[in-house]
Amino acid sequence: MEMVVLGWLVFDLSNSARMVSLVGFCRTLPLLLVSLFSGPIIDYVGRRRVVIAAQSANLTAYMAIVLLLWSGKAAPWNIAIVVFCLGAAWALDWPTRRSLVPDMLGKERMVDGLLLESFLSGFARIIAPSMAGALIARYGAIGCYIGMAILSSCALTILLPLLRGSGPRDTKPPKVASLPVMAEGMRYVRSNQTILAVVLITLVMNVWIFPYVSLLPVFARDVLHKGPIELGFLSTGTVLGSFLGLLTLHFLRQRVNVGTLFVVGTGWMCVALAVFALSQLYPLSWAMLLCAGMGMACFGTLQSTIVLLSTSDAMRSRVMGIVVLAIGGDPLGQLQIGALAERFGVQNTLAGQASAALLALILIVTLWPGVLRPPVPSD
């Protein structure tokens, strides 16, 4: 819901594709600033406490945007400040949630746990973009942000029992984040061919592929000539594809190596987005986003699976923090895709970047083929 309403709101306030990308840059910039420190911070504070603190920050940020819209003072610059805070919370929340899965289930059930998490969130995401589009159309952006604040309050209430629930407890190491600790994580990633390849593929996808989301409002209005409800359905196509991709993963993961599924799914997403970029027909565009969503499911679920299977327990939080650093390539991609879209148009820009990402994927797999043969969890 956030990605749908944020792009529409900023585009409505500024009428500029470049401004949409700039605010998207502010949303993802904390990934570069926080991710290097996130692993040691998570280890020091405790995974459960970090998850709850991040959800509290989300709720506060949504209420701040509601107040800005209600007072009539909303502008791209103050929206950018609030979403910067949201990005900082996400930079800590994502690696923490993924690192918690082996704590609760063990590595032998980790793939099942990540698939279950992805199934549940995927089911919610089928509904959410359409909800966002309907709320924007009926109540404006403020109605959508109020709805998000209510949902965030529910999530925080659900998470609070983590502080007193059963299961492995977090322990505090004696030192906080330091440069030697972060350098140790970098050396660990560099020495492991499988993790290094996943990190590099993650960087490529976040620089050249995932920034396309910020331009969906431009595609909806200026290329496909549609409104906010159709924009919501476009996003629903991606999420429905992700759900179908997860079903495919569930049936294939015992038959096909997870590394192969990861690489093939990532390449499939690149091809689908290249076709989407060139389409001017709404049904074809929706179908290509459905296909891209299937590839995204392979990428998003198996990225964490491969890294966590290949990482020792002691290095888990630090390595996941480095993965977030690679995800931090997104703000650079936001600036790049916005500038190129202004110069060459959104269709040529996205088609070119999707093609470049596919070529980079092939090169990385050729140089570091270990990604095709990650460790297999023991039963």
- Both tokens of 284, joined, read 């074809």
**Percent residues over pLDDT 70 in the chain:** 94
Q: Give 203-251 pLDDT, tens digit per residue.
A: 999 899 998 987 888 899 899 998 878 887 887 788 788 888 888 888 8
| Overall size of the chain counted in residues | 379
Give the confidence band of 174 by pLDDT, cuts at 50, 70, 90: very low
Mean per-residue pLDDT, 166-184: 52
Q: Which pLDDT value is given to residue 162? A: 78
Report if residue 202 sits inside a domain.
yes
CATH number at residue 357: 1.20.1250.20
Instruction: Give dist(CA 48, CA 247) in Å, integer.
Output: 29
Q: Which of 35-39, 134-138, 158-162, 339-343 has the lowest mean pLDDT?
A: 35-39
Q: Which amino acid is at 268?
A: W
CA 44, 46, 49, 54 torsion: positive or negative?
A: positive
Tell me the pTM.
Answer: 0.74
Report if residue 172 sits inside a domain.
no
Report if residue 219 sits inside a domain.
yes
Give the confidence band of 355 by pLDDT, cuts at 50, 70, 90: very high
Instruction: Give dist(CA 96, CA 52) in Å, integer.
Output: 10
Q: Which pLDDT value is given to residue 261? A: 93
Report if residue 67 sits inside a domain.
yes
Instruction: Give dist(CA 209, CA 211) in Å, integer.
Output: 6
Report if residue 375 sits inside a domain.
no
Report if residue 271 sits inside a domain.
yes
Domain residue limits at 13: 2-164+178-370
Give the confidence band of 148 by pLDDT, cuts at 50, 70, 90: very high
Instruction: Give dist(CA 223, CA 168) in Å, integer.
Output: 51
Give the confidence band of 179 by pLDDT, cuts at 50, 70, 90: low
Helix, strand, coil percentages for the chain (3-state, nearest 5): 85, 0, 15
Report if residue 378 sits inside a domain.
no
Q: How many domains does the chain have?
A: 1
Report if residue 145 sits inside a domain.
yes
Q: Give 270-294 pLDDT, tens digit per residue.
A: 999 999 999 999 999 999 999 999 9
Which residue's structure tokens are 């970047």?
A: 353
Whether the CB-CB separation of 249 and 194 falls below 8 Å is answered with no
